[in-house]
Amino acid sequence: MDEPFLRTMLFDYYGDLLTDKQKEYYDLHYMSDLSLFEIAEMYGTSRQAVWDIIRRAEQTLRDIEAKTGLVARAMQRRAAVAELVSLAETLPDSAAKRELVRRLEELTD
């Protein structure tokens, strides 16, 4: 799994468990693509302070994932559903096939 996608998933699943400052800095850096310098300027702090907060936030997210495994299981389910959709696509075209594919795709939304 590529790292930016993993960071996004971890933040989506567990971001509410971070402090307000951790959430803000993490979001600005990884989701809004602001540099440490830009964030530091916005908040009147040092780049090192911003980096420390982001690093702690990321470690918190990874620790929670290590304990719960929710993101890993979600990714496994998504892969399994994608495989099932691929298999369903090989079936002869019918209303039942279209309904099956539609329902499988709903599982990944």
pLDDT in tens, 31-67: 999 999 999 999 999 999 999 999 999 999 999 999 9
pLDDT band with cut points at 50, 70 and 90 for residue 3: confident
pTM: 0.78
Mean pLDDT over residues 55-84, rounded?
A: 94
Q: Which of 52, 67, 50, 51 is nearest to 14 (CA)?
A: 67
Which pLDDT value is given to residue 1? 60
Give the Å distances, CA to CA, from 26 to 3, 58, 59: 14, 8, 11
Instruction: Tell me how far apart the alpha carbons of residues 52 and 36 are, in angstroms, rounded to a whole number.
Output: 10
Please, what is the average pLDDT of the chain? Answer: 93
